[in-house]
A and B are shown apart, each in its own frame.
Chain A
């Protein structure tokens, strides 16, 4: 098992370098002057511009820039954004908000996805199963921002059950509605995956053998079907954590959540290279760590992996 985890870890290293390099390349190597972008249409004092270039290593060759950047990333010396705030401070402000949002969304999709998926799978072909299947397809087919608007309008404005916009505070309870919107599409996937997995296991030989041993139906379901069915679902959920954080841009925009996505979007519009790269690098790191966590969970759930 240790070897398995180590191997997965080693495989993740080139992914990290590859992904950060890709982002760095896209943001910095291409024509366009980020310093000019900072000042908009105003004229720039050449001396000030040069000073800024030096500060961000923009006067160095591209590869050198990338390695200096990596060094800074490792030493958490991320520099300042164009308005003079340390990027590390910006990250410390926006990440907790998005992490809260992503955790709530993950909980939402895990709890409801697994419950609905299990019921649908065990009652394959019945009314509940059909309804859930159609509903999940519809959710996947509707763009998330339409879902967001409708939920914001109906739940937030019409019913008044939640704040339609979150604002600077962004406490746990404020984030419930945005988290539901964020998690809805994944919820549909979790339901479908759980259902398929349950149905597959229902027909497994060892389930028939367990029944033949004289076990009660509930025990067969809980001990022999559920645990085995959860393996692919948990894999999906773990990988989804990274996707939720990176994909929160739309939801954060609609509900005015001061998180990573909103900040990233602003930085992109401003052409704020260092901030973009820093935020995305941390997101990549989150994605990679989440995947490693999945690998550990996977090995824990499936002994065949553990001893491979």
Chain B
């Protein structure tokens, strides 16, 4: 039978001992349970970027809380004009400002103002933007449109522009302090957080597990709080971390324009601003506070980047 030979197909069976049949869908019981957050944490710990950023941020927070641990010099006392723009001297490792104050001491004591502005502006935008964004995303419809348009109104005014106008209001002009700066940054910073939160909430809102919870009898607000928000948190945390850095830069810029912190508050922004006159004669008075500020901001941005990699839902699936 020639066509039989031509069409012959070998029936191959792999040796069973080499290809054993395993139990279908068996639970491996020897692994430790790991939540998503725990898994993210395990990944983060191994990232040098995250470790460096965290150590730096920890250091900066300690400096802001206990500046006296890091310098014995009183930043404002003993400013002697004789030392104006002087170079490093014993006990004064970074030299003197144009006022004859110790650069290093001012650097240490200036940490608190910058960090406070950053942290509270971030918390404020999270509170307002996060709430409005979550409501807009979960509710949808007209409420979503209204909140989106209000956000657009604030988007249409760039931060610095809006801040200039607000800081000129009599109340703000007369009460310039950390809190007025925080309020200004929150007023113009919340729409971005609202947008991110809204998007994150929408992506979770229609997930099957939310529908499942609803058909179990969980009410809409409870489903939002228990299921939607915890799952929408990751991108918001990432943005908040990066924003913390951006707000510190913004504070410095406002102080530079003379509409941020008042000159008697010690802050990096004010010091950089004050140092511009001596840029050519003694650039280090400008570069040190600028470096301190940039390292701080960089730490927060790097932390945000590392968090994004660890919490990214796309990366999670793999």
Contact = CB atoms under 8 A, between A and B. Distances in A.
Q: Do A and B bind each other?
A: yes
Interface of A: 11-12, 14-16, 18-19, 22-23, 26-27, 30-32, 137-138, 140-146, 149, 153, 157, 242-243, 246-247, 249-250, 253, 264-265, 268-269, 271, 276, 280, 283-284, 287-288
Contact of A140 (B156, B279, B290, B301): B301
A249 B160 contact: yes
B211 interface: no
Contact of A19 (B157, B160, B301): B157
B301 A26 contact: no
Given A23-B165, A30-B170, A249-B257, A149 B276 contact: yes
Nearest to A243: B158
Given A142-B294, A146-B272, A249-B257, A264 B149 contact: no
B213 interface: no
B39 interface: no
B157 A22 contact: yes
A26 B153 contact: no
Interface string B274-312: 001001100100100010011101100110010000000
Interface stretch (B65-73, B105-113, B248-256): B248-256
B165 A26 contact: yes
A33 to B, nearest CB: 10
Those 5 A-B pairs whose CB atoms lie nearest each other, nearest first: A246-B158, A18-B153, A141-B297, A141-B298, A19-B156
Main SS of chain A's interface residues?
helix
Given A14-B149, A276-B165, A280-B165, A247 B298 contact: no
B165 A141 contact: no
Interface size band for B: 35 or more
Contacts, number: 123
Main SS of chain B's interface residues?
helix
Given A141-B295, A276-B165, 15 more contacts: A26-B165, A30-B171, A141-B298, A143-B272, A144-B249, A145-B272, A146-B290, A149-B276, A149-B279, A249-B160, A249-B257, A250-B253, A265-B257, A280-B157, A287-B155
A284 B152 CA distance: 11
B149 A253 contact: no
Nearest to B298: A141
Nearest to A144: B253
